[in-house]
Structure 1
Amino acid sequence: MGDAVAESKVDFGALAALHKWPSLANQRRPDRESYPITEGTLDECISAFMGKPATTRHLYEIRTAAQPPLVTGILSPEHVIELSRWREFL
């Protein structure tokens, strides 16, 4: 996937929102909706996410405009961690 990263540009200045899922016993509550806790750029939301304790990151996701092929509209915790690595590499 390294070639795709080199050939693709990610707009880290795109508008985004960091969402948190309500939880019970550190697990997402599937009967509830996530809610925004931080709004700003994709870069700011990635930084806010990475500032959360690793043990709670599964309760968060970032929502932004899709930027195919690397950025989807809803970014899972694993996806955010990958984008954070790419951001530092680039």
Structure 2
Amino acid sequence: MADLGADSKVDFAAHAVLHKWPSLANQRRPDRDSYQVSEGTLDECISVFMAKPAATRHLYEIRTAAQPPLVTEVLSPEHVIELSRLREFL
């Protein structure tokens, strides 16, 4: 992750939505749309995501307002895990 200077603050209270992709044999179905699982703050959505079994996390993503440079509008599972680590660090 990039250098976490003063300009790299993350607003964990920002509105966010956790989405899940339909799956077949534990693989995303690109022919289907994702659906909302949880809505709340970025912090809450990260907590809900982290409570999911590690083997299924690749089926989820978090959507929120971009907070450059650390937060994009759609957060991949890998990105959510990194933000979870950052949150614990702070």
Compute the TM-score of the two structures, normalised by the length of structure 1.
0.95
| Count of residues paired in the alignment | 89
Q: Find the aligned partners of 1:84 and 1:2 in 2 and give their Cα distance.
A: 15
- Give the gaps of 5 or more residues in structure 2: none
Measured in 1, the distance between the counterparts of 2:51 and 2:19 equals: 14
Letter in 1 for 2:18: L
Q: CA RMSD in A?
A: 0.9
- Residue 74 of structure 1 is matched in structure 2 by 74
Tell me the distance in 1 between the aligned counterparts of 2:5 and 2:50.
Answer: 23
Letter matched to residue 42 of structure 2: L
In structure 1, runs of 5+ residues without a counterpart are none
1:54 paired with 2:54, answer: yes
Aligned identity (percent) is 81
Match for residue 36 of structure 1? 36
Moved >2 Å (runs of 4+): none
In the TM superposition, residue 6 of structure 1 has moved relative to its aligned partner by 3.5
- Cα deviation, 1:33-72, whole Å, max 9, x if unaligned, reads 1111100000000000000000000000000000000000
Length-normalised TM-score, structure 2: 0.95
Corresponding letter in the other structure for 1:53: P
